[in-house]
Amino acid sequence: MGVDIKHNKDRKVVRIAPRSEDIYLRLLVKLYRFLARRTNSKFNRIILKRLFMSKINRPPLSIARIARKLKNAEDKTVVVVGTVTNDLRIFDVPKMSVCALRVTEAARDRILKAGGEIITFDQLATRSPLGENTILLQGCRKARRAETQF
């Protein structure tokens, strides 16, 4: 006699569009869907996939971690599909070029005061459509306080 396998848990959910109704996010999805289709760049496919993600899967990234990753590559643009936050533990912020969905007010002030720049994803698409001279970073997903309960 064979084993009956239940197939009601087999479906793997893959997002093909963002759940959010934010019109600006939807415009970015249109732009990067075009770039992912017309260019042969893996960078655009990754950006598009991350734009679909939920807020839990787009964790914040502090300017201290960005500064640490930029030790050897000061001329590159840091791309974060999520929020860039301030970090009071770092005293001097280096000059950096950041592209993010959102930057907190304190982090924005510190980056601009250091002589850096903050650009949006549509500006990044015109500046480097294939993702050249960029560093793609994301925050730690397990750093949420809720993750300590699991």
Closest CA to 136 of 20, 54, 48: 48
For the record, the structure tokens of 47 come out as: 């950006």
Task: Say how many residues make up the chain.
Answer: 150
Contact 32, 47 (CB under 8 A): yes
Q: What is the model's pTM?
A: 0.89
In the block, residue with structure tokens 């600006």: 24
Predicted confidence pLDDT, tens digits, the chain (150 residues): 567 778 878 888 899 999 999 999 999 999 999 999 999 999 999 999 999 999 999 999 999 999 999 988 889 999 999 999 999 999 999 999 999 999 999 999 999 999 999 999 999 999 999 999 999 999 999 999 998 888
